[in-house]
Amino acid sequence: MIGIREKTILSISVFSFFFAAILIAGSLIKEDSLYVELSNIFAPPGGGHIFGTDWVGRDMLVRTVKGLSLSMKIGLLCSVASSLIAMVLGVAAPLLGGKVDIFISWLIDFVLSIPHTLAIILISIACGGGLQGIVIGVTATHWTSLTRVIRAEVMQIREAEYTKLSRRFGKGNLFIAKEHVLPHIIPQLVIGTVLIFPHAILHEASVTFLGFGLPAHEPAIGVILSESMKYLTSGKWWLAFFPGISLIAVSMMVNSIGKNIERLIDPKTAYR
Amino acid sequence: MRLNAENISFRYGEERYILKDVNFSVGSGEVVGLTAPSGFGKTTLGKILAGYQRPESGRVTIDGAEIKSKGYHPVQLIFQHPEKAVNPKWKMRKVLAETEMPSRELLEAMGIQNGWLDRWPSELSGGELQRFCVTRALSEKTKFLIADEMTTMLDAITQAQIWNTVLGYARLHKIGVVVISHDQPLLERICDRIVNLTACSG
């Protein structure tokens, strides 16, 4: 028998393994594995192609894995960048206080008040579209809730006696941020980064699907999905179904990793 | 050197004044007791002296000059609860080194065992932690020490050991000590004079 804690750790490891496997497999797929086979177009799932083939006979499983790994890399980049922003702003706001705190809180409310998808599209276009546009767009909209969490946490630490003592010992904001605050917020940062990831890839895919994200020649999931729309009415359901369900599976998987890490770290639930 | 509090008034929000035109002073090497019943502003006065709180009016000076708010504060306050005054994510060696690493003799005199330096705060008892907090405050830059119920949670023997060391150190380095306590016998035993806050404020 294994306990709940072991089960949680097992689930984190299995999902992380899958995550790494897709990422690596996708990166190893070269252009020539995506060969065109015009004698075998629109093959339904089964037999040699378990996800079927597309309108030029390319294997949908290979395309899906390739697309997922690209989306996941973008998602990773976006979530790490978002949590870096969240870390800097969330720590700076309470420590600098006054006008800085008011401004950062206002900025959080401002960004949160615009619908994400709309903001990403606008920022992405303004930044020249493509990979850089989508990364900046997703990053610029996903730091807010984590910043709030960290700001609240730092406010508590700021009021703690040991930080006040540290100031009386002549230590500045930078020392306090690095030595006193950072060790306390690392768990929040880790969980936050993991939990931003599913949002990031879903938003990237949806904006790309709408045609404002990655260009059509990139093998991203969003591109595959928007192409498949053309053939959906003629009954080629597998073109959209498998990539779509894989995307949702990946985001649910990462979400579960984040929730499980949180459960392990949080003392309230750690040994339950 | 002389630490002076001149006409200090303080109140929380718009409530009644807990400190009203309080004058208080302590000289280098002097040990002054500060006593009053609960709620008469002993701790608040201590916090004002150490720069943790701004008085509504009045000022705190050392030899007539106001204390700079940046840099090492020459008046150090030792809190009542050591477990809150130590970052739980720091090992004890780092806690001590935040001011300056104390000498081996001082550590020994305070009864700090060498093995404790590599422990986490949660692995020490309140009394053991308080020795660290006191030692940390005894740096060369400290000119005045405010001990707010510093040894209240300790047993008599440890109390005696800590006070012996602190008072010895204070005498040697000409540090002025303000002892805030309810413990009348303790005050009578160690203080040069005792100030009752009830008499100072209205």
Residue B202 predicted with pLDDT over 70:
no
Compute CA A121 distance to the chain's CA centroid, rounded to the nearest angstrom. 17
**Rounded to a whole number, what is the distance in Å from the CA of B202 to chain A's nearest CA?**
30
Of A193-197, A247-251, B188-192, B194-198, minimum mean pLDDT range = B194-198
Nearest to B73 among A160, A168, A183 (CB): A168
Other Cβ atoms within 10 Å of A139 Cβ, number: 22
What's the first-to-final CA gap in chain B, in angstroms?
A: 29
Please give the residue of chain A at the shortest CA–CA distance from B80: A161
Q: Is residue A52 part of a domain?
A: no
Helix (H) or strand (E) run with residue B23 in it? strand B19-27
Please give the residue of chain A at the shortest CA–CA distance from B139: A169
Q: Is residue A272 part of a domain?
A: no
Query: What are the chain B neighbours of A163 within 8 Å (beta carbons)?
Result: 87
Determine the Cα angle at A61 with ends A60 and A64, to 5°.
80
Q: Is residue A218 part of a domain?
A: yes
Q: Is residue A37 part of a domain?
A: no
Residues of A with CB under 8 A from a CB of B: 160-166, 168-171, 179-180, 183-184
Q: Is residue A51 part of a domain?
A: no
Hey, what amino acid is at A170?
Answer: G
- Distance separating alpha carbons of residues B81 and B87, to the nearest angstrom: 12
Query: What are the chain A neighbours of B51 within 8 Å (beta carbons)?
Result: 168
Other Cβ atoms within 10 Å of B127 Cβ, number: 16
For the record, the structure tokens of A235 come out as 């009954």
Q: Is residue A217 part of a domain?
A: yes
Q: Is B138 on the interface with A (CB under 8 A)?
A: no
**Span A68-91, mean pLDDT?**
94
Q: Where in the sequence is the domain holding A173, given as residue range(s)?
A: 4-25+61-265
Question: Which residue reads 């709940």 in tokens?
Answer: A4
Q: Is residue A227 part of a domain?
A: yes
Nearest to A162 among B50, B77, B85 (CB): B85
Question: Which residues have a Cβ under 8 Å from the Cβ of A193 and sit 6 or more positions away?
Answer: A79, A80, A82, A83, A146
Question: Which residues have a Cβ under 8 Å from the Cβ of A40 and sit 6 or more positions away?
Answer: A49, A53, A57
Query: What are the chain A neighbours of B86 within 8 Å (beta carbons)?
Result: 162
Domains of chain B by start residue, with CATH? 2-200 (3.40.50.300)
Pick the closest to residue B192 from B62, B34, B75 (CA basis): B34
Q: Is residue A33 part of a domain?
A: no
pTM score of the predicted model: 0.85
- Distance separating alpha carbons of residues B98 and B25, to the nearest angstrom: 28
Provide, rounded to the nearest whole percent, the portion of chain A with pLDDT above 70: 99
Mean pLDDT (chain B, rounded): 90
pLDDT tens digit sequence for A146-203:
999 999 999 999 999 999 999 999 999 999 999 999 999 999 999 999 999 999 999 9
| CATH classification at residue A192 | 1.10.3720.10
- Give me the pLDDT at residue A247, please: 92
Are the C-beta atoms of A95 and A163 separated by less than 8 Å? no
What's the first-to-final CA gap in chain A, in angstroms?
A: 16
At B27 the three-state DSSP class reads strand
Structural domain count of chain A: 1
Are the C-beta atoms of B177 and B167 separated by less than 8 Å? yes
| Banded pLDDT at A268 (limits 50, 70, 90) | confident
- Give me the pLDDT at residue B158, please: 87
